[in-house]
Homo-oligomer: A and B are copies of this chain.
Amino acid sequence: MLTDRAVVTEAYTVIPRGVLRDIVTSNFPGWSGTRAWILAKPVQGFATTFAQYLVEIAPGGGSPHPEPETGVQSVLFLLAGRLNLTIAGTEHHLEPGGYAYLPAGTDWSLTNPGQQPASFSWIRKPYEPAEGITPPAPFVTREQDITPTPMPDTDGTWATTRFVDPDDLAHDMHVNIVTFQPGAVIPFAETHVMEHGLYVLQGKAVYRLNDDWVEVHEGDFLWLRAFCPQACYAGGPGPFRYLLYKDVNRQIRLT
């Protein structure tokens, strides 16, 4: 069956796991042993603040200079394999669950030191300075080292693994992990200015997007423009988890 859930609409795009196959990968200049599925890029009238990829590096592959634009910051989240990430001359060893924040203008490089392909999410966003705010420093951490914050009034069935302090206005994007227990529900159709790239890490759910419902599961990608309503019912048996991009903490620029 070629008919699947892939769809482009005016408010969201669904890229299901089943369409992320060999024949639709992209190559980037300056990389070796690497292929990428580009999941999101700025599209006028849709979402314009970020790009997101699923990247796979073969053993020994990588790039000495992954980021060609000086004004662009990145988040990397390792899904499988191992990665050596060098930031300003310091090497970090990432394993699955590893997470790196790379500010705009940082000098960084990446190699796969392992025997297996390394697979990671890469999110890129131009950093938007704000008056009186010092830009953030780079950091490397692990999902496993952070206690998820439960959403109030949900009895712990909905929690967020926050990689940056939500009150720290230095950051203009959040890339977090959201976890729902079976049967947990976003109780209203969240409708806000923040754009989303949503990569499902585990489990399944039926997701409300604008005025449609879509079933999603591990490996699917959802892409939402500003103001696209969204909510979900999480199915079991295990938790439903996803990596979530949103842009935050900045005034709207009009001129």
Verify B151–A42 contact, CB threshold 8 A: no
Chain B residue with Cβ nearest A24: B192
Verify A125–B254 contact, CB threshold 8 A: yes
CB contact list, A235-255 vs B, under 8 A: 235-237, 248-255
CB contact list, A175-190 vs B, under 8 A: 181-190
Verify A21–B210 contact, CB threshold 8 A: no
8 Å CB contact of A132 from B3, B30, B236: B30
- Give the contact stretch, choosing among A4-12, A75-83, A87-95, A106-114: A4-12
8 Å CB contact of A131 from B11, B29, B44: B29
Chain B residues whose CB sits within 8 angstroms of the CB of A46 once the complex forms: 45
Integer count of this chain's copies in the complex: 8
Cα distance A204–B1 when bound, in Å?
9
8 Å CB contact of A3 from B181, B184, B215, B226: B215
Chain B residues whose CB sits within 8 angstroms of the CB of A132 once the complex forms: 29-30
Verify B251–A68 contact, CB threshold 8 A: yes
Main secondary structure of the interface of A (DSSP, over half): loop
Chain B residue with Cβ nearest A50: B254
Cα distance A237–B182 when bound, in Å?
9
Verify B27–A169 contact, CB threshold 8 A: yes
Chain B residues whose CB sits within 8 angstroms of the CB of A120 once the complex forms: none
Verify B126–A254 contact, CB threshold 8 A: yes
Q: Report if A5-B5 is in contact (Cβ < 8 Å); known contacts: A10-B10, A188-B21.
A: no
Chain B residues whose CB sits within 8 angstroms of the CB of A43 once the complex forms: 45, 225-226
- Which residues of A line the B interface, CB within 8 A? 1-11, 13, 15-16, 18-19, 21-24, 26-30, 37-38, 41-46, 48, 50-51, 68-72, 124-126, 130-133, 151-152, 155, 157, 167, 169, 181-194, 204-206, 208, 210-211, 213, 215, 217, 225-229, 231, 233-237, 248-255
